[in-house]
Amino acid sequence: MSAFTPPPLPSEDKRWKIVNGTMRKSGYARHALIETLHTVQSSFGFLDDDAIRFVANSLRVPLSQAYGVATFYHYFTLKPPGKHTVTVCAGTACYIKGADKLIATAEKRLAIKQGQTTPNGEISLMTARCVGACSRAPVVLCDGEVVGEMTGELMLEQLERWTVE
């Protein structure tokens, strides 16, 4: 078997070294694809074409498979997130307690649909499939921080604070 040389890093950006580290830890094994994409997303915030290409080449995975995995799993996003992210949990318990109304309120206030980012790149509105804090439903994640028993007014206040910044 000929020795495999992984491709050079796409740029000087130090974050590629972190990505490379994840792959090296598994010996550039093909099954490290999902782990590596997780590292890319946590370092860069999203997966772009260059990143998927780089990871696929490094792990010797067909581009189609890498793209397939990146688009199959909801957790991965191919679009850059906004400066702030408000994630409304749409699990069953939250839905029963009015998560759909929270989503509608946020959509109206931000004039975007769920899954989108405001044109100025400030705020992203996302939904989640249950974050496991069901006992405090309805739950909203404001920049990753869990806020339980959310109301429309409280959420609008939070959005207002972000807009003023």
Partner 1 sequence: MTIEELEQIAKSVQQESAKYDYEVNVCMDLACASQGAGALKDALVKTAEASGKKVLVRRTGCMGPCSHGPLVRVDPEETLYHHVKADKAEAIVDGLGGSPAPDFQCDLNDHFDKQVRVVLENAGYIDPEKIDDYIARDGYKALLTVLNEMTPNGVVHRITESGLRGRGGGGYPTGLKWGTVAKAKGDVKYVVCNGDEGDPGAFMDRSVMEGDPHRVIEGMAIAAYAVGASKGFIYVRAEYPVAVSRLTTALREARRHGLLGNNICNTPFNFDVEIRLGAGAFVCGEETALIASIEGKRGTPKPRPPYPASSGLWGKPTLINNVETYANIAPIVRNGGKWFFNMGSERSKGTKVFALTGKITNTGLVEVPMGIKLREIIEVIGGGVPGGHKFKAVQTGGPSGGCIPEEMLDVGVSYDALLKMGSIMGSGGMIVMDDTSCMVNVARFFIEFCMTESCGKCIPCRAGTAQMYTLLTRICTGTGTMDDLALLESLCSTVKETSLCGLGQTAPNPVLSTLKYFRNEYMEHIVHKRCPAGVCNMETAVEVVA
Residue numbers at the binding site for partner 1 (CB under 8 A):
29-35, 37-38, 61, 65, 68-69, 72-76, 90-97, 128-137, 139, 145-148
Nearer to partner 1, 53 or 97 (CB): 97
Nearer to partner 1, 119 or 144 (CB): 144
Q: Pull the structure tokens for residue 21.
A: 């580290």
Dihedral of CA atoms 144, 149, 152, 153 in degrees, nearest 10, equals -100
Amino acid 103 reads I
Tell the smallest beta-carbon distance from residue 28 to partner 1 (Å). 12
Tell the smallest beta-carbon distance from residue 54 to partner 1 (Å). 16
Tell the smallest beta-carbon distance from residue 51 to partner 1 (Å). 15
Amino acid 77 reads T
Measured CA to CA, the distance from residue 160 to residue 165 in angstroms comes to 9
Tell the smallest beta-carbon distance from residue 119 to partner 1 (Å). 25
Are 125 and 106 within 8 A, CB to CB? yes
- The runs of H, that is alpha helices, within the chain are 15-25, 33-44, 49-59, 63-72, 92-96, 99-110, 152-164
Nearer to partner 1, 56 or 118 (CB): 56
Residue recorded with tokens 């069901």: 134
Nearer to partner 1, 93 or 156 (CB): 93
